Amino acid sequence: QNDCAMQFFKKFADKAEKDPLVPLGCAATLTCLCAGLYAFLKGHANLSQKLMRARVVAQAATVAVFLSGSLAVSKMRTEDEKRPPGMSKVEFDLLKREDEAVKK
């Protein structure tokens, strides 16, 4: 179980390094949500409503950053890295090797 947790945090750290705004947006969303719920429990309905609206804005910004990052990564792939849908990586690698051998 500890190994699974370590793998999760390693993956999270790797992804956060590639796109640091997504975890920041998640933290902002969670902060607005928790603060809004706390304000609601304390009876501050107006403040709670404002914080929930801020949460929606933070969440939308996070999704926008995530989508733009995904789009940027997909555009950076070269033609050599693209393989046809349904073709496994092993088959694609073999096909590339055969093409290189034919070209020589």
Structure confidence by residue, pLDDT tens digits, 41-95: 999 999 999 999 999 999 999 999 988 888 887 777 665 567 777 778 788 888 8
What is this structure's pTM?
Answer: 0.63
pLDDT band at 40 (very low <50, low <70, confident <90, very high): very high
**From CA 9, how far away is CA 23, in angstroms rounded?**
12
Tokens of 24: 């920041």
pLDDT surpassing 90 at residue 103: no
8 A C-beta contact, residue 91 and residue 48: no
Q: Given a cut of 90, is residue 1 above it in pLDDT?
A: no
Q: How far is residue 8's CA from residue 1's CA, in Å, rounded to a whole number?
A: 11
pLDDT value, residue 57: 97
How far is CA 68 from its chain centroid?
10
Residues in CB range of 23: below 8 A, 6 or more apart: 12, 16
**What is the token pair recorded at 48?**
């709670």
What gap in Å lies between CA 13 and CA 28, rounded to an integer? Answer: 18
Q: Are 54 and 32 in contact (CB under 8 A)?
A: yes
